[in-house]
Structure 1
Amino acid sequence: MNPCLFIILSFLLLLFPTATASQLITVGEGGDDRNDANMKKCLDKERDALLLFKAPLHDPYDTLSTWTADQHDCCNWSGITCSNQTGHVTKLELFGHGLGGEISHSLLNLTYLNHLHLSGNSFHGTIPTFIGSMTRLRYIDLSDNYHNGTIPRSIGSLTELRHLDLSYNSLYGTIPPEFGNLTNLQVLRLGNVERCRVEKVEWLSHLSHLEVLGMDGISLAKQNHWVDVVLSLCKLSHLSLNGCELSQVMYPYSSFLNSSSSSSSIEFLSLQSNNLTSSMYRWLFPLTSNSLQFLHLSSNMLDGIPKYLGNLCNLKTFYFSDNSAAVKFPDFLNNLSGCTSLSLQYLIAPGSQFTGSLLDDIQRFSSLNCLYLAASHLNGSISEKLWELPILEILDVSYNDLTIPSTIHNSSLSYVNLFDMRSCKVGPQFPKWIKTLKNLTSLDLSNTGISDTAPLDFWAMWPSRLIYMNLSSNNISGMIPDLSSNFAKKSAIDLSSNTFHGPIPNVPSTLLSLNLSRNKLSGGISFICQIVDGLLYFLDLSHNSLSGQLPDCLWHLKQLKVLNLGHNNLFGRLPPSIGSLIELEALYLFKNNLSGELPLSLKNCTSLISLNLGANKFSGTVPVWIGENLSRLYVVILRSNNFFGTIPVQLCQLANLQILDLSMNNLHGTIPSCLGNLTSMVEEGFSQDELYYTIGISENIDETETYVDHAMIEWQGDELEFFGSLRLLKSIDLSSNNLTGQIPYEITNLHDLIALNLSKNALSGEIPEKIGGMKKLLTLDLSRNNFSRRIPSSMSQMTLLNDLDVSFNSLSGRIPSSTQLQSFEASRYDGNTQLCGPPLTKKCPGDEESELLPIIGEIDEVERWFYIGGGMGFATGFWIACGALLLNRRGRHPFFQFCDSFIDWIYVKVVVFISSLQKARQT
């Protein structure tokens, strides 16, 4: 989706001739007006046919609940329309209901059916051939189902057909949901299931009245003459062939190319996702006449456009996004500069490989309303002529390398997105041209190099109009004024990563999202109590200098999904009203001065996925309800608090848990053995819950805020903040407590664990022998405990380990030999007086005798090369000799006599040599 979608959909509704077809059907068959007192009821034969159609179907949403034998008039059933003159069923409309099964032959008894709409369901099997016998049909839509195989040619018999849509029918990637009901199924084979295809396309030419043809996802790979067939459909206005493997058509040119009689009435043409190259333009030409209004060529391999596209005087919408070949944008515009430049309203081409800049040629496109060129490779300055386009409302050139001019004069713009990940040059001064954009509803100037104070009049420019403002990742300073009356309903504000200071001002009570993180804001957060409309679902105030208590008015925020107050100076207890946040998924309070026990009401927040309360002063025992009630948790971080007591075994119920950090508390007792059953750490894979939160901003514009879950984790001795990589981390940290007893051997079942830290406790006993089976461990810290005996030999198998610390224990014996264990610094083994062997300088008993091993190793090397060299020499000499003897019969006998004596001599020499080697090894 893109920010023009709302406008485009309105435009498509004008193009899509469905209403016209429906009106034709209504007039021809008496319509669906059932208010006539003399109207006929449905016929018994047709009611029975519908019940037979229903009988085998899977109906997950009970859509057909009105279809019962005791309700005799089937004309009152959902999805059924009858003629009020004859009572015959004329329409069957059951789209988007998830119905599954095969289409029954009983439909043949609906002899007056002219409208069949079953799209958006789970019908499977081949498209029934009998449909071609239902000759009154004028409208067929079977799209978005699971049909496969060949499209029946019999459809070509439906000469009155106006609308045919068979798009997106395939079993690829999805299994129909009703398959789950086959409880007695013993064998299920779905291999090599082909998507729908067309064997011969000629049958389409019989549909002379066809106006709409949708075959998206249908394979046309073998249809070389489909252009001819399409051109024969003189009434066709809507053609959609997305993802039809058209790139595999070897000779896709038409015999109509040089015919003056060829013409096209197509208004809507979509050919996206076919891997087409620019060679396709020769056969595209006859399809593109002056009637064309919508052209979609996205997701292909086009390296430009031909000049004839500039002569389409009615073209209003042109999609050219995500084409993989490089295109010079000035040439692209030049080829559109005929009469198309006067008609084009929407140019949508994000993600294309455009090069060059927005030059003055853009001024020719006087009807342009939406220009969407995000994430291309445009560079240089934006021409000032762009701002002179009289009706331009939507502009998105984000994620390019463009320089914005110092002045902009365009009062019609309502949406501007100039953000660029490579710092589009707008600053350092705050842009004065903003004042000319009086009609803006959305403004994104994030990461644009502004290092200035925002003028006071800037904040009041769009009273009750803005729905989205993003000034993040700049160096904008000053105080934020009262914002309560500057934004429209359901708006979003992102001022993060700047240097704003002072208190947080009043904000609109209807906010959806507020991000003020990473500034220098101070004071309390009582403004939260003003957000009373319950729409807010993203609030990030982290990394400021906020103080005071968390106010007890959170029952207003029942839609809140993300609450991040970390890295501030908040103090006091968590208020009981925090339990009202029943939709909350991420609670991040890390590094404050919050204290007291966790309120019992927090267990009502059953949607929580990430709970991060570390680096505070919380006390009491670790609540058992965390494991019993908050079953979706994948992150639990309670580190660096004052929790005491034992680790509750209820935490083992958290099947999705990937990160458990209880370090730096006052916990005692043993490590629960059931931690070895944590499903997400035992099995390969990740939590099923989404770890990224996308916050929708408005109803009319597709703008979003994205929150990536993150956490401060102690990693190899350093405190690091993990962002996008948090999903990959599976970690247990119980360090710096008072834990006793042994490491439960069940812990070694955590085969997918990446980090384990049990250091600075009072653990004792042996390190489990099977610990080497935890082969994905990258970091293992067992230091400063009371472990004894040897380091398990299995640890030599931990080839991914890049951080190990077993120092200050009572370990003894030789450090197992492996490249990995010998690569760590000797300090990682310090404090174990009985340990020996590399990398320690202390030798193990018997090491003195082994000093001769290098010499023996050299002898072994000599012996090895002797056998290799001897073998190679023998093979070479053998075949040279054999070749000579094969050609020289007279020399064979003397040669073999010589070989007998020579072999005896070699045998004696080899025995003597091996004997001498064995004596050297013994000494």
Structure 2
Amino acid sequence: MRGADNTNVVMNKCLDKERHALLHFKTHFQDLDGCLSTWATEEDECCKWFGVTCDNKTGHVTRLEISMCAILGEISDSLLNLSYLTHLELSFTYFHGMFPRFIGSLTKLRLLKLAGNSLYGTIPAEFGNLTNLETLVLQDVGWCRVDNLEWLSHLSQLEELVMDGISLAKVNNWVDVVLSLRKLSFLSLNGCDLSQVMYPYSSFSNSSLSIHTLYLENNHLNSSMYHWLFPLTSNKLSDLDLSSNMLDEIPKYLGNLCSMKTLYFDNNSVVFKFTGLLHNLSGCTSLSLQEFSASGSQLTGSLSDEIGNFQFLKHLDLSKNKLKGTISEKLWQLPKLTFLSLYSNHIRGSISLKGVPSIVHISNISHVLYFDMSSCMLGPRFPKWIQTLKTLNLLDISDNRISESIPLEFWDMWPSQLKYLNLSLNNITGLVPDLSSNFDAFSVIDLSSNNFYGSVPNVSSTLQSLNLSRNKFSGGISFLCQIVDGLLEFLDLSHNFLSGQLPDCLWHFKGLKVLNLGHNNLFGRLPNSIGSLISLEAMYLYNNTFSEGLPLTLKNCTSLKSLNLGANQFSGKVPIWIGENLSQLYALILGSNNFFGTIPLQLCQLAYLQILDLSMNSLHGSIPSCLNNLTSMVQEGWFNLQQNIHYIQTDWTTPIDGYQYSIDYVDNAMIEWQGDKREFFSNLIFLKTIDLSNNNLTGEIPHELTNLNELILLNLSQNTLHGEIPQKVGQMEKLLALDLSRNNLSGCIPSSMSQMSLLNDLDVSFNNLSGRIPSSTQLQSFEPARYVGNAELCGPPLTKACPGDEESKVPSGIGESGGRREDIDEFDMWFYIGGFTGFATGFWIACGALILNRHGRHAFSVFLDSFYDWVYVKFAVLITNRK
């Protein structure tokens, strides 16, 4: 007999078969950030596990929704035992491996999301069995393609389809298939190689689509695509994205879509007139359009009076075009306009990017909430007319060459109203008054890279981001103790003249993600309250005079990914808890301090570590052989897989009339390169380094180090290491710099080093090496000074001949003396020109499309910073070697 009590038991416990299936699913991957820590074998009630939902009556698992978790592994077919699943989401979890064909057997699924993984292969035809699907999101699943799209036509219940990044180049009939999906309302095919689809088969008769959102960004489409776009549009269409293509017009039929609210036309590379674009949109679309963006599309002509027909426009972005002439007064009469961006054009007149607006015009736009005129050369005088914009929530006049002080009344113009203020990258001088009552909750202040001086101003407790770096602020930082609401996520006071101790009141900042106090005059020990920063991802205290040992409470900061305490006076042993507790670290910089003792073996547990700097301390003992456990330095592509984990990104969303703004922290590190300190920025994904130089390390160089295949810089110089250079050092083929100088190394230089074709900086001087320097293009290209101090070393580029050789005749220009190097120089020059040209060509072919991708543009800009660092390293080494 089964009663109500038994029903409650079923409700509270999931079925054994399905619990075991979930646990078996978990055994196929590593849960790197403990996202699934509630999934435990002793826990019977799997319905309470993170991401798991069960049916209240039957106890069957109906939903498995895991997203934004650091999971490394494959999607196991043990999920087949969850046959009652209706929702399966494994988005942005970094699963890899073959695209899971078995999912086509989960026929009860209504929602399937696999976005943001590293899968490969074709989308299987078995997906056609998922006839109950209403939502299918396969955005950026990896290197996947579709050879035949017939399976999609069976998903008659589908309402949302996202296949961004999946190639449809071989599917000529995709338009026909989409037209067969009568319930489809949301379609996103960004970056799907649609340019290959020129003339679909169908005549598109009897179409009755209900699509209201259509995204076709980044497909290299030209205007012939409008032939097959026409049947996909109807008066239900409200959002259309045609950005990052090769379109030279907007057809008139788009001007007759009476429900159109947003139109994105950014980064279309063919020149055409803005007036023609407005004319073709002048039908009923002009009465519905609220958001129009055509940034970077080489629009020509002027902002004509036709813009006045778009009375419902709220958002207008025409930046980075070729517009010229004056601005029509009709623009300033648009009653709904809250966002306007016109920077990087050639506009002139009474209101222009380089002139001063008249009060008449400013009064017409007094309702503006968002005002962005960054990089517009408004200076050198401060534009006082900005103070007439009394309704502003967001003001950005950064990078405008403003070089005078700000009127005091400016700071009181928007009391408790501003959400975002950016005055950075100017030369503004003067004192900053008390700002504790000027800003709204969750606000952002960026005054960096100016000449502000005096004490750091008091700020509101509700502030979310404060950047005062690269100014001339002085005095202490006790103002931190007045910030008590715990909303602060970003604090950068670096590159100032601040002094004193770090106050012991940091328990207020449990949400702080980035703390940068580097390049100041702060001193003393770190307070115990630093352990309260449990959300901290980046701590940068480089180049101060902090002292004593690291507080034990710092081990509570388990979210740390970048810890830079270099160039201080810290002392004591390197704590073992760094390796045991700070498992997310990718950068550990403790160089130029007073640490002593041995290198803890626990550091070998830091699988993500890419930058290890323990140089210029008093460490002794041997180099741990377990360093080959630093997975990120061993496995190719590890940084690509973990890029979103390593990249420290602090997102502040400040909604302003429906729009959101984000601020990103670009991490940085000072790395010694060829005797100089070089500051690297971005997420440092190309920089994988170990620097243990200038210590008292003894013993032999562990041969296990040669397994660090991804390492590009290894510096073990100025220790007392002995023994031979590991024979397999040549398999470290990505090394750009290797410094083993000033040790007691003996034996021959391994012949395997001839394979190190990327090596551009080598120093083995002042050891006890002997024998012939192996022959290779690289090893003979270094200056003789890189080999001196090894009495028994011989062969080029040294002048000393090896036994049995004829007297060495060193080519003019290679030795220490002068001479002609024209022939060698010309060869080198064309070698490097050809190499870099070829690389650049391939790079832009592969990545050019991503640059134009509006959704991925920010991520790619960060990647470009990293790429710049890599090119800088290669080029700097080349120049140095040629001196």
Whether the TM-score (by the shorter chain) exceeds 0.5 is yes
| Paired residues of 1:314 and 1:340 also in contact (CA < 8 A) | yes
**Which residue matches 2:854?**
none
- The answer to whether the 8 Å contact 2:800/2:808 transfers is no
Structure 2 residue aligned with 1:149? 125
Q: Deviations over 1:716-740 (max 9, x none)?
A: 1111101137221121112122223
Residues 128 and 151, structure 2, Cα contact 8 Å, conserved in 1: no
CA 840–468 in structure 1, closer or farther in 2 if over 3 Å, else same: same
Report Cα offsets for 1:351-379 as digits up to 9, x if no partner: 545445544543332321111345x4345
Superposition pairs of residues 145-184 of structure 1, within 5 angstroms: 149=125, 166=134, 168=136, 173=141
Q: Judging changes above 3 Å, is the alpha-carbon distance between structure 1 residues 364 and 436 closer, same or farther for their aligned structure 2 residues?
A: farther
- Judging changes above 3 Å, is the alpha-carbon distance between structure 1 residues 535 and 199 closer, same or farther for their aligned structure 2 residues? closer
Query: Is contact 1:165-1:214 (8 Å) kept?
Result: no
Displacement of 1:464: 1.0
Farther-moved stretch of structure 1 (573-582 vs 821-830) = 821-830
Q: What SS does structure 1 have at the residue aligned with 2:572?
A: strand
List per-residue Cα deviations over 1:613-671 (Å, max 9, x = no partner): 11111112222222222222221111111222222222222222221111112222332
Q: Which residue of 2 aligns with 1:714?
A: 672
**Contact 2:278–2:306 (Cα < 8 Å) also in 1:** yes
Q: Aligned partners of 1:128 and 1:671: how far apart in 2?
A: 52
**Aligned residue for 1:68?**
58
Q: 2:367 aligns with which of 401, 406, 412?
A: 412
Q: What code does the residue aligned with 2:265 have?
A: F
Report if aligned partners of 2:418, 2:443 keep a CA contact under 8 Å in 1.
Answer: yes
Q: Is 1:389 the equivalent of 2:334?
A: yes
For residues 463 and 764 of structure 1, do their structure 2 counterparts lie closer, same or farther at Cα, with a shift above 3 Å needed? same
Q: Structure 1: how far apart are the matches of 2:391 and 2:380?
A: 24
The equivalent residue for 2:646 is 690
Distance 1:101 1:678 in 2: 32
Structure with max Cα Rg: 1
Instruction: Confirm or deny: 8 A CA contact 1:254 1:283 kept in the other structure.
Output: no
Contact residue 253 and residue 283 of structure 1 kept, 8 A = no
1:104 positional shift: 11
Q: 1:433 aligns with which of 385, 403, 406?
A: 385
| Contact 2:406/2:430 (8 A) holds in 1 | yes
- CA separation of 1:172 and 1:501: change in aligned 2, threshold 3 A: closer
CA distance in 1, matches of 2:794, 2:781: 15
Would you say 1:812 and 2:770 are equivalent positions?
yes
Which piece of structure 1 moves more, 659-668 or 423-432?
A: 423-432
Q: State the match for 1:336 in structure 2.
A: 281
> Which of residues 783, 802, 815 in structure 1 aligns to 2:741?
783
Q: 1:143 to 1:782 in 2, by over 3 A?
A: closer
How far is the alpha carbon of 1:143 from its aligned partner?
6.5
Distance 1:223 1:661, change over 3 A: closer
Instruction: Determine if contact 1:597/1:620 at 8 Å carries over to the other structure.
Output: yes
AA aligned opposite 2:675: G
In structure 1, how many angstroms separate the alpha carbons of the residues matched to 2:107 and 2:452? 70
**Conserved 8 A contact 2:666-2:681:** yes
Q: SS of the counterpart of 2:463?
A: coil
Q: Which residue of 1 aligns with 2:565?
A: 613
Aligned amino acid, residue 328 of structure 1: K
Cα drift, residue 558 of structure 1: 0.7
Q: 1:842 corresponds to which residue?
A: 800
Query: Does structure 2 retain, via aligned residues, the 8 Å contact 1:693–1:706?
Result: yes
Structure 2 counterpart of 1:692, which letter? I
Contact 1:661 1:734 in 2 (8 A): yes
Partner of 1:661: 613
**Seq. identity, %:** 55
Change (3 A) 1:607 1:771: same
Q: 1:280 to 1:818 in 2, by over 3 A?
A: closer
Structure 2 residue identity aligned to 1:345: Q
Q: Work out the CA distance in 1 between the residues paired with 2:626 and 2:343.
A: 51
CA spacing shift, 1:381–1:548, aligned 2, 3 Å: farther
Corresponding letter in the other structure for 1:222:
N
Residues 846 and 437 of structure 1: CA distance in aligned 2, closer, same or farther (over 3 Å): same
Separation of aligned partners in 2, 1:170 and 1:808: 58
Note if contact 1:585-1:608 (Cα within 8 Å) is conserved in structure 2: yes
Structure 1 residue 809 displacement after superposition: 2.2
How far is the alpha carbon of 1:507 from its aligned partner?
Answer: 0.6
How far apart in 2 are the matches of 1:341 and 1:749? 63
Q: Which runs of 5+ in 1 are unaligned?
A: 1-46, 70-76, 80-93, 108-116, 132-139, 156-163, 176-189, 205-209, 257-261, 853-923
Deviation, structure 1 residue 56:
12
SS of 1:547's equivalent in the other structure is strand
For residue 168 of structure 1, give the secondary structure of its aligned residue in structure 2: strand
Structure 2 segments unaligned to the other structure (5+ residues): 1-10, 23-46, 68-76, 92-99, 116-122, 811-883
User: How many pairs does the alignment contain?
Assistant: 723
The separation in 1 between residues aligned to 2:377 and 2:778, in whole angstroms, is 49
Aligned twin of 2:874: none
Whether 2:492 is the aligned partner of 1:540: answer: yes
In the alignment, the residues of structure 2 paired with residue 55 and residue 552 of structure 1 have an alpha-carbon distance, to the nearest angstrom, of: 47
Q: Distance in 1 between matches of 2:533 and 2:518?
A: 18
Report Cα offsets for 1:776-810 as digits up to 9, x if no partner: 22111122222233323332222221111122223
In the superposition, relative to structure 1, how do residues 378 and 559 fare at CA in structure 2: closer, same or farther (>3 Å)? farther
Greater CA drift, 626-635 or 759-768 = 759-768
What secondary structure is seen at the aligned counterpart in 1 of 2:553?
helix
Does the C-alpha gap of structure 1 residues 384 and 589 become closer, same or farther in structure 2, counting only changes over 3 Å?
A: farther
2:480 counterpart SS class: helix
SS of match in other structure, 2:728: helix
Q: Do 2:464 and 2:489's aligned partners in 1 also have CA atoms closer than 8 Å? A: yes
Q: CA deviation at 1:533?
A: 0.8
**CA positional deviation for 1:68:** 2.5
SS across alignment from 1:611: strand
Deviation at 1:246, TM superposition (A): 9.2
CA 1:691–1:381: 2 relative to 1, 3 Å: farther
Shift in Å, 1:222: 2.4
**Selected match of 2:265 from 310, 316, 320:** 320
Determine the C-alpha separation between the residues in 2 that align with 1:602 and 1:530.
22
SS at match of 2:685: helix
Instruction: Out of 642-651 and 552-561, give the one that drifted further.
Output: 642-651
CA distance in 1: counterparts of 2:614 and 2:19, whole angstroms: 57
One of 410, 413, 417 as aligned partner of 1:458? 410
Q: Distance in 2 between matches of 1:756 and 1:555?
A: 39
What secondary structure, in the 3-state scheme, does the structure 1 residue paired with 2:395 have?
A: strand
Specify the SS of the correspondent of 2:745: strand
Tell me the residue number matched to 2:464: 512
Give the Cα–Cα distance (whole angstroms) in 2 for the partners of residues 616 and 757 of structure 1. Answer: 20
1:736 correspondence with 2:694: yes
CA-to-partner distance for each residue in 1:244-265, whole Å, 9 max, x for gaps? 9596262578587xxxxx9989
Q: Shift of the alpha carbon at 1:199?
A: 6.0
Deviation at 1:311, TM superposition (A): 4.7
Is the Cα–Cα contact under 8 Å of residues 670 and 742 in structure 1 kept in the other structure?
A: yes
Instruction: Tell me which residue corresponds to 2:308.
Output: 363
1:148·1:171 contact (CA, 8 Å) conserved in 2?
A: no
- Is 1:481 the counterpart of 2:433 in the alignment? yes
Specify the alignment match of 2:869 in structure 1.
Answer: none
CA pair 100-391 structure 1, distance change in 2 beyond 3 A: farther
Contact 1:710–1:726 (CA under 8 A) maintained in structure 2: yes
Structure 1 residues 612, 379: closer, same or farther in 2, change over 3 A? farther
Query: How far did 1:462 drift?
Result: 1.2
- Asked if the contact 2:200/2:228 (under 8 Å) is kept, the reply is no
Q: What amino acid does structure 1 have at the position aligned with 2:212?
A: F
Q: Partner letter of residue 173 of structure 1?
A: V
Alignment of 1:43-122 (within 5 A): 61-68=51-58
Q: 1:195 to 1:100 in 2, by over 3 A?
A: farther
Contact 1:270 1:296 survives alignment (8 Å) = yes
TM-score (norm 2): 0.72
Could you tell me which residue of structure 1 aligns to residue 212 of structure 2? 268
1:296·1:319 contact (CA, 8 Å) conserved in 2? Answer: yes
Instruction: Letter of the 1:769 partner, please give it.
Output: Q
Deviates more, 1:264-273 or 1:747-756: 264-273
Q: CA deviation at 1:821?
A: 1.4
Would the aligned equivalents of 1:148 and 1:169 in 2 still touch at CA under 8 Å? no
